[in-house]
Chains A and B, each alone.
Chain A
Amino acid sequence: MAKRSAPEINAGSMADIAFLLLIFFLVTTTIEKDKGLIRQLPPPLDENQPPPPIIKEKNLFVVLVNNNNDLLVENEPMELKDLREAAIEFLDNGGTPNGQEGYCSFCQGKRSPSSSDNPEKAIISMSSSRKTSYLTYAAVQNELGAAYNFLRDRESQRLFGWKFTEKKAEIDAGRYKDDIKTEDKLKEQLKEVRALIPFKLSEAESKKN
């Protein structure tokens, strides 16, 4: 038999095919990265539960949103862009005088006696109408959350030298997964910061109109 060499297959187009596949998967793959504002709902209504304790007017920061998506903050109309500042000022006020119980040693606010006593007592109350657009609602929630995040970042920076939100994101992403000791310690520290500035955002029953 005569020796016959098998014909070589031309591989020049392999690259094209590979690129085709690459591009196809690049186009079709949507990397779902859902992010958002985490909130906790209050427990179900219970007929027998005791009435809530009376909260002093000065410890309450009332945010109302009406049908036209306008903001009324502490009985003053306000633009959305000023809300964050106002909320920080309220939370950071530290109105209790030095030496009395509940004095806020780390607050940097105006210490006005007519605003909140300390961040622990301060409550933000948000109430929106049924016709309020969700866009506005989410924006207000975002700004109020931003006020808390700002203060928590500031305090954790002061106490531990890192930012609360950044560290929390790192833990959530599993950066300390292999080092449970460090993770537990960091979680403990996060808890401390949370205790200093608890997230107290209450949502009042929305009005019918």
Chain B
Amino acid sequence: MSKFKKKKGGELPPVNTASLPDIVFMLLFFFMVATVLRKNDLKVLNQLPPADQVEKLDKTKTVYVYIGKPGEGYKGKSTESIIQIGEKIVSVEEVKSAVLEERELKIRDELKDYVTVALKIDENAEYGLVYDVKQELREANLPKIIYITTPSSAVE
């Protein structure tokens, strides 16, 4: 009965892997296209000014304040610069409470007295608003600030 005779060797044929690289590249391209690199869901435009006399920032005790014109998708009625703290957009009068609230949320208890406020301000913002925010921080007793910049020479 040769019908039921076993094939010699009996091994399975190897899986054809010739198309694997194609699949891999397809995945790679998919992720490259689909991944949106957004940080902290920024609602304001944030092109930082250049500076070279910079020092590093300790992130564990930092509260971020963003200032800039409303970004893509958040365009409201005005084109004036706005302030974002955490996820919220706040007015100048609310800066103090918002910063203190953010400090409660983000900073460990033992570091609360050493908080630095990092100001990420768009280079096209007007100084008047920055000044108002600084006055609020003064009121809130958070005297240590850092103007976040991009590393390059300030003198064009």
> DSSP majority for the B interface?
mixed
Are A142 and B146 touching (Cβ within 8 A)? Answer: no
Are B147 and A206 touching (Cβ within 8 A)? Answer: no
Are A7 and B14 touching (Cβ within 8 A)? Answer: yes
Q: Does A181 sit at the interface, judged by CB under 8 A?
A: no
Whole-angstrom distance between the Cβ of B139 and the nearest chain A Cβ: 6
Closest A residue by C-beta to B142: A41
Whole-angstrom distance between the Cβ of B7 and the nearest chain A Cβ: 11
Contact with A along B25-52 (1 / 0, CB 8 A): 0011001100101010000000001111
Are A169 and B55 touching (Cβ within 8 A)? Answer: yes
Q: Which of A127-144 contact B (CB under 8 A)?
A: 128-135, 137-139, 141-143
Are A37 and B146 touching (Cβ within 8 A)? Answer: yes
Q: Does B134 sit at the interface, judged by CB under 8 A?
A: yes
Q: Which of A7-22 contact B (CB under 8 A)?
A: 7-10, 12-13, 16-17, 19-20
Are A131 and B128 touching (Cβ within 8 A)? Answer: yes
> How far is it, in angstroms, between the C-alpha of A34 and the C-alpha of B144 when the chains are bound?
16
Whole-angstrom distance between the Cβ of A123 and the nearest chain B Cβ: 18
Are B127 and A133 touching (Cβ within 8 A)? Answer: yes
> How far is it, in angstroms, between the C-alpha of A102 and the C-alpha of B67 when the chains are bound?
43
Q: Does B6 sit at the interface, judged by CB under 8 A?
A: yes
> How far is it, in angstroms, between the C-alpha of A145 and the C-alpha of B70 when the chains are bound?
31
Number of interface residues, chain A, beta carbon within 8 A: 59
Q: Does B95 sit at the interface, judged by CB under 8 A?
A: no
> How far is it, in angstroms, between the C-alpha of A169 and the C-alpha of B55 when the chains are bound?
7
Are A42 and B147 touching (Cβ within 8 A)? Answer: no
Q: Does B126 sit at the interface, judged by CB under 8 A?
A: yes
Are B154 and A12 touching (Cβ within 8 A)? Answer: no
Are B143 and A142 touching (Cβ within 8 A)? Answer: no
Are B148 and A36 touching (Cβ within 8 A)? Answer: yes
Q: Does A75 sit at the interface, judged by CB under 8 A?
A: no
Contact with B along A19-51 (1 / 0, CB 8 A): 110011001101011111111111111000000
Selected contact of A37 from candidates B12, B51, B137, CB within 8 Å: B51
Q: Which of B126-144 contact A (CB under 8 A)?
A: 126-128, 130-131, 134, 137-139, 141-144
Residue numbers in A under 8 Å from B51 (CB-CB): 36-37, 138-139, 141-142
> How far is it, in angstroms, between the C-alpha of A9 and the C-alpha of B51 when the chains are bound?
55
Are A40 and B144 touching (Cβ within 8 A)? Answer: yes
28 A-B residue pairs with Cβ-Cβ distance under 8 Å, sorted by A, are A2-B6, A5-B11, A7-B11, A7-B14, A13-B21, A19-B24, A23-B28, A27-B31, A27-B32, A28-B35, A30-B39, A35-B148, A37-B51, A37-B54, A38-B146, A40-B145, A42-B138, A128-B127, A130-B128, A130-B131, A138-B121, A138-B147, A139-B50, A139-B51, A139-B155, A143-B154, A146-B53, A169-B55
Q: Which 10 A-B pairs have the closest CB atoms?
A: A130-B128, A135-B123, A13-B20, A138-B49, A139-B154, A142-B51, A35-B54, A36-B148, A132-B127, A41-B143
